[in-house]
Structure formats: structure tokens, C-alpha cells
Chain A
């Protein structure tokens, strides 16, 4: 039906769809739990915040798990190189994410305030740490990671945990936190009753949206005028076997700006990043909650797309070896596997979206502190 080149392109787009799907759904769960100790002070308030995501966060988290599985299936090189390379960072993310399900479920099992406070901070860690580390990881992807691939196509990583944190990658990490906190604050504004929590969420949301705009702008300038960027030497064989050794790459400062010259329409992505976040800011200030949530969604979509489009066709460049970088054309699964997985996705993703929408419809409405005290099913 589609040839290898088109299949690779589709799966590159689907990789973006999964990451954006994760940011738009589980993203607000991360933002909400990162805000939890600050927007809610009393136990009833905190329970209200927790239950605003309680029934749906579990389904949202599957975007993350599916992301892992889909990268494994469609981009096995990316899965193998990135997760083993960012080994300890990945451990931090997993350990933090493991705290979430238990935090949500176990917190309400005992009335003891010390017990509940410990879980509140566990949930905070479970929200903040992944948001930060994902951003730092994206920063490292933009910067290039120190790995080389040998003739058996085994990857050797020559960096450590500390090396992941550079000024640029920390900037990306903070942008990621800001982006998801805006999204979480916008969700809270929609989902909790008017009152103290609602007001605090709006204040944090305003600050985070402002920070997001500034950080995204600095990041853009850094990409344009800093020393980051890569370029392919010679033409890529879009139909060739997935073997990174056959591609040659050179580092070029400002290389991530090249695509905007070649394909001016791509400028739409950063524009959406700014416009969406600005819309979220305006919506939160004006008390237009749906507008705020729509804005933060568009903002996240724009920011993530900006990263993907700037780097195309690169997915994970190597900073130390000219024949190791992973691109859309040299790191995918076989044509057969991409085809099968596309069929599966086309059939099942719409079904997933349908029942997810139904689940949100069933749980529609604001959570109130009163309901928290009377509903025995609440966390």
C-alpha cells in the first residue's frame, strides 16, 4: 500500500502523535500532582485535587507505556540507544512514576495526616521529576548524545548521569515543567470548584505560562545562534536498510534552523507553541477555562512539534561519532513491521480515543470538597 519511505515518514509522525498524546493527557496529571502541595493546603482540598484526575490518570499513563512499546516496535534503534544511554535518568523517571499509582491509591487508605502528607510529596515527586527529566532528555536529543555504534550495531554510550544536565538541557527541562504545569493548572481550573484551590491554580498557571513563553523564546534563540545542530553529508537513501553506519553526519552550529529555510510552512510549529501558551495565559487571566485548556494543549502541540520538525530527519544524533546518528531513514523497523503496526494503529487508536472520550464524559463535572467527604469511591 505504502512504500518504505512513506511508512517511515508515517511512523515518524506517529511517534510525534504519541508524544503529543502523552503530553496532552498524562501531561496535565503530571502538572496537577507537581502543583498538589502548593495549590491545596487542607486534606479536603488535596483530596479534591487528587480526585480531579483520579478516575482518568491511569488511562492517560498508557500513552507513556504505549510510547515505549511503539518506539520499540517502530524505532528499535532509538529504543535501544536512548534508554540504555540515558540509563540513570530513565531510572529516576521510572522510580518517580512508580510512586504515582501507589500514591493515588494508598493515600486515602489511612486517615493519619503524616501518612497522607508523605504520599502528597510522593505524588509531587511523581509529577515534577518525570516532567523535568523528559525535558532534559529532549534537550540532550537536540544537543546530540555521546554514543557510538560498532560494526555489530551494538551501541556504546560514553557519558553519565551528570553529563545530561547542561545549561541548555536544563532550560529544556524547565520549559517542559512550565508547559505541563500550565496544562495542569488549566485542568484544575476546569475541574475543581471555585474557591481557594481554583484561585491558587490560576496564579500558578499564570506564572508558568509566562515562564513557558520566556523559556521557549530563549530556547529558540539558543538553537538559532548557539553551537547546536547537525547536518547530513550526502543524500540519504530513504529506502535503504536500517543501518546507521551508512549515514555520515557533521555538526553545524545552527543546523536545526535549516529546515525552516527549506520548508517555510514548518514555522507554524513554533508559532503555535507561542500562540497556544499565550492563549492559555489569556484564558487563565480572564477566567475562560476552556480557552486556557485549549491554549495549553495547542502550546504543548506546538512546542513538541517544533523539536521534531527542527531535527528532521534526525531522531537522535551522536555527538561523538559521524557514523552513528539515528535518522528517520536508518533507524526504523523493517517495511513489513511498519506496515503491520500501521494497520493495528489505524484500527485501534480510534477505538481507544472513543472510549477515552466516553470515560471523560462519565466523569464530567467539577469535583467539590463536599463530594470528597461523602463519596466512598473517592481517593
Chain B
């Protein structure tokens, strides 16, 4: 495989996925916040809540279309750029994507049109039902996508079939109830809820600071404070660290995050700060909190958190075992009925992927030298400094979010949220934070899995399509220009919508009695 094609394919996937994931979290969270706001409207029958729902609905709509538009690329990118991946695991990986379309995206997309166009054609309760179905659809969508992604992290319920040269499903239930997928789902949708809460909180705070549309802003802020507090607690407490103790590769990810070069005596301490050194395999200037990591990662006092050096030794054993499997597969390609080869494959088949790591150094993995085996084993270590820092920044933002929403909740409960100027400013400045955390979270999950496309099964460098660099440059530049333009337009439209305010026409049809805007409304 051409290394340039591999790098460009990875770059394009990362760019399009990270870009797609700028819009999705807001959709996930805002859809449920719309349900909450509209429920209040249906229950209280007060027009202000209709205004609130419709206003945030407009922000939702502008954001939603880009989520859909960029999602198109994702659905087909496995085929266009990762065709060997698609062949190799399509039997398992394709199913959740198809079910996502059938069960979730149809629901979301069909009802989203009715949600925007149906205000005057449906009863209040029916419209609320439609809004709820949109929220349900978006969140089910996330569930199926994360079942697919969870399987890449922890490929359960499947084995390699030498007759078809691919992974095939043996236990679909295991794929569905994959613990890594479940943890990821809760973590990811909670992050989306936090993101939406921060947006609603921040924009409302901006209105309150400017003394504009106070009636809408103060109510929106209350919803955001409550929803945001619950979600930020959920995103941290139900973080997906619990899944990291499951398999060798997940253990490796955890070790890289912690820059744990060697297995520490249990219960292991949590490294808060340090500078990982890639040459000497040690972490300098470490600041550790004793016991905490062992507790989080293994949910016990005596479970060990493996270090990278020990995991590399294990990988080395599996590579050697995988070489036998690879040899057996070569025999079976020519002679599918060879019983001796089938028997060898039955014993070593689970390590086949490890032998394929050698393909970076040698055409035929069964002829690799011990030095090549050693190097391939060290390849199983992801980029430690990036993992270490991405995780820490993400986690720090997570804790900041809890503090932000706890404060917001307290202020709202005391009905002081309209006057606490310092807090309102803070809330406006917090708007970009969830996106930073979310994008870093994607990096931790996906870079942490490297060198694997499918953990322990298929190395990333073998998973690409057989394309040319020119083709990849064409699409990479094309997507960049298209996405860049759309991003500028979207941000401008959202800012214009915020400036324009919650009312369809420039004047407030129901001027508030208590909080008359300090500045005459001219936008």
C-alpha cells in the first residue's frame, strides 16, 4: 500500500468526521431541550414558551442541515476510502449502519420536516409528539453509530472465515450489547446534551447581559441549567473509562492516556500531570493521586492497570502466534479443504490481525525477522503525548462544565441568574469549550485505537482503498473548500439569528412588563 494514500485517507476521514461532529452533538442535545421547552408550552399553554421553542428550533434547524449534509459523506466514506475495511468487516459493521438508517434516521428526517412545517397543521400535543420523535430519532441514530464504533474498539461476536477472507458475525447479540458500545453511547450523547446546554446557557446569558428579550432568555437559561447539570454529571461519572480494562488494546489505550510505561502495583495512582518521554519510555515531573486510577479503571482495589511495556510483550507473543495463523490462511486460499491448516487456524486464528501488523515491514509476515516482530509489537503503542494531553484537557473541561452548571443551577434556583453579571460573562465565554472537549474525545477514542482500524483484527494501514494520491488530494481539497464555505455561512447565519432574536418579526409582539429592554430593539 502507498503510505501517502494511507496518510491522506486518514487525514480525510479525521477531517470529515471531526467536522461532522461539530454539528451532531448540538443536534443530539438541542432536540431534547426542544422537547422540554415545548412540553412546558403544552402544559402551561403560555405563548412565551412557544416563542422559546420556535426560536431554539431555528438555531436547531441551521445546525441540523449541516449535520445531515456532512453525514452523507460519512455513510459512503467507508466504501470510497476504506474499501478493504468494508470488505473485511462489512458483514458485522454494515448492519448497525443499515439499521441506523431504517430505525433512526428515517424517523428523524421524516418528522423534522413536519416539526418545522407543521406548527399550524397539527394540534399542540401532536406537534410535541413530532418533536419528541425527532429527538428520539437523533439519539437512536447515535446509538447505532456507536454500536458500530464500539465494535471497532472491541470486536466481539465475530470470527475470521478463511473461505471468504473476512470477519463474519457469530453472535449478533454480543455486537448489540457490547459493553464498550454502551459506555460510549451514554458518554457521547451526554456530551451532546452538555454542548447544547452550554449553547442555550451562553446565548441566553448574552441576551441578559444586553438586556434583550429577557423573558425568553431567563426561561431558556433555567432549562439549560437543569439539563446541563444532569448531563455534565452524567458525561463525567459515566465516562467511558470503565471499558478500558476489557481487552489488550483497550488496556493499551488506557496505558497511553496515563502514560503508564510499566504496570504499577495495584491500586494504581492517577497521573494528573507529567511529561511523557517517548525515547526513554518514562514520564517526568509526574504528579499522581494514589489509588484513583485503579478504582476508576478496574472498579476494584486489587485489579492491575497494565503498563505499555508489559502490553507490548503480550503483543509480541500474539504476533508470533498470528504468523502461524497467517501461514494457515495462505494454504487455505489454495486448498480450502486442507484439514491440517484448518486445525492450525483454529488454534491461532484469533491472532491473525497481529501478524498483519508485520506487513508494514515485510511482504510475507511468516518470514519476518525477530527484530521486525519487535518493531511491530511496539507499533501497538499509540501516540502517547497526544493521548495524554488530549485526555487531560477533555477531562478538565468536563469538570469545568459541572462547576459551570452547578453554579447556574444554584443561581437559577435562587432567582439570581439575571443579575450575576460575572456569571453571565463566564457563560458566554464557555460556549466553545464543549466543542473542544468533544473533538478531543474523538481523538482519544480513535487515535487511541491506532495502529488498528479494528482492534486486534485489521491494521489501519491495510484498510484503505487502492486509490491514487491525486484522487485523494482532489477530494481532500474539494471537501475542505466546500466544508469551509459552509462553515462560514452557517456561523454567520446562526449569529444573525441570535442578533435577530426570538421573535419572527423585529418587534416583540408581547412586550414584557417587568423587564423592558434597556436598549431599544432595532435588530
State yes or no: do A and B come from one complex. yes
Q: Within the assembled complex, what's the spacing in Å between the Cα atoms of A105 and B91?
A: 36
How many whole Å from A78's CB to the nearest CB in chain B? 9
Q: Does B122 contact A (CB under 8 A)?
A: yes
Q: Does B211 contact A (CB under 8 A)?
A: no
Residues on B with beta carbons closer than 8 Å to the beta carbon of A71: 94
Q: Which residue of B lies closest to A68 (CB)?
A: B75
Contact B97 A73 (CB under 8 A): yes
Contact A62 B70 (CB under 8 A): no
Known A-B contacts A74-B94, A152-B165, A344-B99; A377 and B120 likewise in contact (beta carbons under 8 Å)? yes
Residues on A with beta carbons closer than 8 Å to the beta carbon of B303: none
Q: Does B411 contact A (CB under 8 A)?
A: no
Q: Which of A104, A363, A376 contacts B65 (CB 8 A)?
A: A104
Residues on A with beta carbons closer than 8 Å to the beta carbon of B113: 54-59, 359, 363
Residues on B with beta carbons closer than 8 Å to the beta carbon of A345: 102
Q: Within the assembled complex, what's the spacing in Å between the Cα atoms of A376 and B57?
A: 13
Contact A62 B109 (CB under 8 A): yes
Residues on A with beta carbons closer than 8 Å to the beta carbon of B121: 362-363
Residues on A with beta carbons closer than 8 Å to the beta carbon of B86: 72, 76, 79-80, 83
Known A-B contacts A79-B79, A91-B478; A58 and B68 likewise in contact (beta carbons under 8 Å)? yes
Residues on A with beta carbons closer than 8 Å to the beta carbon of B111: 59, 355, 359
Q: Mark A66-104, 1 if CB is under 8 A from B, else 0.
A: 101111111011011111100110110011011011101
Q: Does B475 contact A (CB under 8 A)?
A: yes
Contact B114 A359 (CB under 8 A): yes
Contact B95 A88 (CB under 8 A): no
Residues on B with beta carbons closer than 8 Å to the beta carbon of A73: 90, 94-95, 97-98
Q: Within the assembled complex, what's the spacing in Å between the Cα atoms of A352 and B99?
A: 12
Residues on A with beta carbons closer than 8 Å to the beta carbon of B114: 55, 359, 362-363
Q: Within the assembled complex, what's the spacing in Å between the Cα atoms of A41 and B80?
A: 38
Residues on B with beta carbons closer than 8 Å to the beta carbon of A362: 114, 118, 121-122
Q: Does A42 contact B (CB under 8 A)?
A: no
Q: Mark A221-250, 1 if CB is under 8 A from B, else 0.
A: 000000000000000000001110000000
Q: Mark B148-161, 1 if CB is under 8 A from A, else 0.
A: 00000000000001
How many whole Å from B468's CB to the nearest CB in chain A? 9
Among A56, A95, A345, A356, the one with the most B-chain Cβ atoms within 10 Å of its Cβ is A95
Among A73, A82, A100, the one with the most B-chain Cβ atoms within 10 Å of its Cβ is A73
Q: Mark B478-489, 1 if CB is under 8 A from A, else 0.
A: 110010001001
Stretch at the interface among B166-174, B280-288, B370-378, B510-518: B166-174
Residues on A with beta carbons closer than 8 Å to the beta carbon of B105: 62, 65-66
The range of chain A's interface size is 35 or more
Residues on B with beta carbons closer than 8 Å to the beta carbon of A98: 69-70, 72-73, 482, 486
Contact A80 B120 (CB under 8 A): no
Q: Does B333 contact A (CB under 8 A)?
A: yes
How many whole Å from A18's CB to the nearest CB in chain B? 10
Contact A62 B110 (CB under 8 A): yes
Q: Within the assembled complex, what's the spacing in Å between the Cα atoms of A336 and B174?
A: 14
Contact A80 B87 (CB under 8 A): yes
Contact A95 B161 (CB under 8 A): no
Contact B99 A105 (CB under 8 A): no
Contact A154 B109 (CB under 8 A): no
Q: Which DSSP category, helix, strand, loop or mixed, fits chain A's interface?
A: helix
Q: Within the assembled complex, what's the spacing in Å between the Cα atoms of A257 and B117?
A: 48
Q: Does A38 contact B (CB under 8 A)?
A: no
The range of chain B's interface size is 35 or more
Residues on B with beta carbons closer than 8 Å to the beta carbon of A1: none
Contact A241 B163 (CB under 8 A): yes
Residues on A with beta carbons closer than 8 Å to the beta carbon of B385: none
Q: Mark B89-132, 1 if CB is under 8 A from A, else 0.
A: 01111110111111101110111111011111110000000000
Q: Does B461 contact A (CB under 8 A)?
A: no
Residues on B with beta carbons closer than 8 Å to the beta carbon of A312: none
Q: Within the assembled complex, what's the spacing in Å between the Cα atoms of A73 and B474?
A: 28
Q: Does B213 contact A (CB under 8 A)?
A: no
Contact B83 A242 (CB under 8 A): no
Contact B169 A155 (CB under 8 A): no
Q: Mark B51-90, 1 if CB is under 8 A from A, else 0.
A: 0000000000110011011111101101111011011001
Residues on B with beta carbons closer than 8 Å to the beta carbon of A97: 69, 72
Residues on A with beta carbons closer than 8 Å to the beta carbon of B93: 72
Contact B102 A101 (CB under 8 A): no
How many whole Å from B27's CB to the nearest CB in chain A? 13
How many whole Å from A288's CB to the nearest CB in chain B? 27
Contact A243 B95 (CB under 8 A): no
Residues on B with beta carbons closer than 8 Å to the beta carbon of A57: 113
Residues on B with beta carbons closer than 8 Å to the beta carbon of A88: 471, 474-475
Q: Which of A79, A344, A378 contacts B102 (CB 8 A)?
A: A344
Residues on A with beta carbons closer than 8 Å to the beta carbon of B166: 76, 153
Residues on A with beta carbons closer than 8 Å to the beta carbon of B182: none
Q: Does B465 contact A (CB under 8 A)?
A: yes
Contact B62 A105 (CB under 8 A): yes
Q: Does B466 contact A (CB under 8 A)?
A: yes
Residues on A with beta carbons closer than 8 Å to the beta carbon of B72: 64-65, 94, 97-98
How many whole Å from A367's CB to the nearest CB in chain B? 11
Known A-B contacts A94-B72, A362-B122; A55 and B116 likewise in contact (beta carbons under 8 Å)? yes
Chain A to chain B contacts (Cβ below 8 Å), 12 pairs: A54-B117, A80-B84, A84-B83, A94-B72, A94-B73, A95-B479, A155-B83, A155-B466, A157-B466, A241-B164, A336-B172, A352-B107
Closest 5 CB pairs of A and B: A76-B90, A83-B79, A73-B94, A59-B110, A72-B94
Contacts from A to B (Cβ < 8 Å)? 54-59, 61-62, 64-66, 68-74, 76-77, 79-84, 87-88, 90-91, 94-95, 97-98, 100-102, 104-106, 109, 151-157, 241-243, 333-334, 336-337, 340-341, 344-345, 348-349, 352, 355-356, 359, 362-363, 375-378
